[in-house]
Amino acid sequence: MNILIILIPVSLSLGILSLLAFLWTVVSSQYDDFDGAAERMLIDKDLKEYKNS
């Protein structure tokens, strides 16, 4: 029963820390470009280099 004195504050602090980390990523606009990565995956870099030379 004494272990709950340690585990409850530790779990609350980890939860608050993860919430703050998530809010920081939202505020710093890391989730703004949803389509950019999907479109960059389809671009063939070798084909671009072949056309430029």
Q: What is the pLDDT of residues 6-35, one digit of tens each?
A: 999 999 999 999 999 999 999 998 888 777
Q: So what's the pLDDT on residue 8?
A: 97
The tokens describing 41, both together, are: 């995956």
Q: So what's the pLDDT on residue 27?
A: 93
CB of 31 closer than 8 Å to CB of 25 = yes
Q: What is the pTM of this model?
A: 0.59
Higher-scoring residue by pLDDT: 11, 51: 11
Please count the structural domains in the chain.
Answer: 1
Q: So what's the pLDDT on residue 31?
A: 82
The widest CA-to-CA distance across the chain, in whole angstroms, is: 72
Q: Which amino acid is at 51?
A: K
The pLDDT tens digits for 33-50 are: 777 777 777 777 766 555
Q: Which residues constitute the domain of residue 22?
A: 3-52
Cα 20 → chain centroid:
13
d(CA 53, CA 51): 6
